[in-house]
Chains A and B, each alone.
Chain A
């Protein structure tokens, strides 16, 4: 599809703009779907029905109504806030979240930018989010926001390490940082998927990555940055209306990014689990999205089941549990490769 666009529109500004807007085609409906799904998943886990009226069929139009409501809200900027940073923060957060989509291979034929350092790029660009969040917390001029922002920065930076170490193990096995290459390496039936190779080390790797990615997406049990019972709403306490919606959107889009990476690294990405059956460029999109959505569902599942860690316990888990295990794991995978090839 990307090729299709570049073929007809060239690589000029217009073509690049159009192809870079393509992920939005996915993100916007996805976020709406996800918000609705979260409402319904939480409701059914809690013995409720959730929204049932808006749009008649199981309240499907609820997120659209929510979005319209947020659009109409007054745009409040607190008087004591640092206006420039306050306005800039949500944009920066969104950019960080959105830019990651550029390197995600949606199918063998569509990837925004087939970088040879794809996964490295995603890790790097996601780190911009930290700056945005710190900015939001600081600019709000609210102590709760500041506490939330400090926690977030500490958490995101800490969990980048085990996450990156886990990713490194996969990179070692495949021998490439390009996400397309990682997908290609797992083609064929589902037992070719990375999670089953070098058993059980890749399984441990996946586990470490998944736990760390929960923290990176600020999801329960690591949702301390916005722990609503402690910090009111964390770094976005003072935000309302569309700016709040952007934080919200980014959270959900980040959920998908980490889920997509998990499925690309460990579950074959756009590969069909059944060999050549149901595979190809179009099916590829289907497989990646469904695998991604599955992990998004798991994240929701965890959110509505588990309590929340305390900030020091969170740091403990990252530095004293996940990081050492990830290091040992890399060593084990390396040893395996040296001994067994």
Chain B
């Protein structure tokens, strides 16, 4: 029988596609429905963060950090203010550190809820998405009562915070923790251990640990492959060393170690760990001022600093060079999504187009973070 003549087809996925989590364009080379190659094209959301940062003083950069990874603004700010404080060589009050950690962990929960919910959406389960957003709403309410904003907070400032926590915040946070623990189980029942969901995600997009390390992956993407690496534990910053919690890693429970299910599940488990941190921190917030006495216009000494922190998506590093003036000479952000996205061609070859969606979702990129 004569061989059937087939052709490869180039398929543009995005930039306007419901499941690329933003304006990502992937050039797919497909053979039927099998992905032969996937080339991500980025830059649709480039907002010149690094150039902007050179034109304004240190405090004014914070709102721009908010907008990088818009799902985890608190964590972005935290990294930046830590870097500036290191450059200024100042110590912030303990109260500030505690509140920052609480906010960062609440933000991690909110961010992971979006990741989990939209991942369910990618796989075709609509309902868990709304359950996740319902709970995220509670976290956003907490942020709103603290600083008035729900998405882009401008809450952490070099040397302190924009506002102290309002009265009732501690109680509301505790109520949230009490409500949220059973909800994680609900999401697990509905989605994580759903037979179809497991079938769709287990053994798909397998990322071996060595490949992940070679690509410089971080965050849940790296931990999904079983590498125990979390900057909060391995290079502690702020007051993370004071709390008792575990770094969760993928187990390969449902399929191969480092598959989409592992990367997804690490996020679910991390939410529980974040709850543990918040629980320990919320009762022990020390008294004090939340604005350290620093001048309105800071002029750090000439020098450079690199500070990294763990955002929900991985290692976010800020490299700041100061020339002694009011404005930073250079701010470079090492964005976790950008680095994790580079894995995409490596782990998607040979899978189906439908798996492609599962893989993109499990790597959990935010295009604002990729393009900055």
Q: B-contacting residues of A (Cβ < 8 Å)?
A: 42, 45-48, 143-144, 147, 220-221, 223-224, 227-232, 303-313
> Could you say which of B118-126, B162-170, B279-287, B332-340 contacts chain A?
B118-126
Q: Smallest CB-CB separation from A231: which chain B residue?
A: B353
Q: Which of A220, A230, A305, A313 contacts B357 (CB 8 A)?
A: A230
Q: Which of A42, A143, A310, A311 contacts B199 (CB 8 A)?
A: A310
Q: Smallest CB-CB separation from B118: which chain A residue?
A: A229
A-B contact pairs, 25 of them (CB 8 A): A42-B127, A45-B127, A46-B130, A147-B33, A147-B353, A220-B124, A221-B196, A223-B124, A224-B354, A228-B18, A230-B354, A304-B127, A305-B125, A307-B120, A307-B125, A308-B124, A308-B125, A308-B200, A310-B199, A310-B352, A310-B354, A310-B355, A311-B354, A312-B352, A313-B199
Question: Count the B residues whose beta carbon is within 8 Å of the partner chain — how many?
Answer: 30
Do the beta carbons of B130 and A309 come within 8 Å of each other? no
Looking at the assembled complex, report how far the CB atom of A155 sits from the nearest CB atom of chain B, in whole angstroms: 13
Do the beta carbons of B17 and A309 come within 8 Å of each other? no
Q: Which residues in B have their C-beta under 8 angstroms from that of A45?
A: 127
Do the beta carbons of A309 and B127 come within 8 Å of each other? no
Do the beta carbons of A306 and B194 come within 8 Å of each other? yes
Q: Which residues in B have their C-beta under 8 angstroms from that of A310?
A: 199-200, 352, 354-355
5 closest A-B pairs by CB = A308-B124, A307-B125, A46-B130, A229-B19, A307-B123
Contact of B367 with A by CB under 8 A: no
Q: Which residues in A have their C-beta under 8 angstroms from that of B130?
A: 46-48
Q: A-contacting residues of B (Cβ < 8 Å)?
A: 9, 11, 17-19, 33, 120-127, 130-131, 134, 190-191, 194, 196-197, 199-200, 352-357
Looking at the assembled complex, report how far the CB atom of B261 sits from the nearest CB atom of chain A, in whole angstroms: 12
Q: Which residues in B have their C-beta under 8 angstroms from that of A221?
A: 124, 196
Q: Which residues in A have their C-beta under 8 angstroms from that of B194?
A: 306-307
Q: Smallest CB-CB separation from A224: which chain B residue?
A: B354
Q: Smallest CB-CB separation from B355: which chain A residue?
A: A310
Q: Smallest CB-CB separation from B201: which chain A residue?
A: A307
Q: Which of B121, B190, B355 contacts A229 (CB 8 A)?
A: B121
Q: Smallest CB-CB separation from A42: which chain B residue?
A: B126
Do the beta carbons of B127 and A227 come within 8 Å of each other? no
Q: A220-B124, A309-B200 are in contact. List 14 more A-B contacts (CB 8 A).
A: A46-B130, A221-B124, A221-B196, A229-B19, A229-B121, A229-B124, A230-B353, A230-B356, A304-B127, A305-B125, A305-B127, A310-B199, A310-B355, A311-B33
CA–CA, A58 and B18, complex, Å: 29
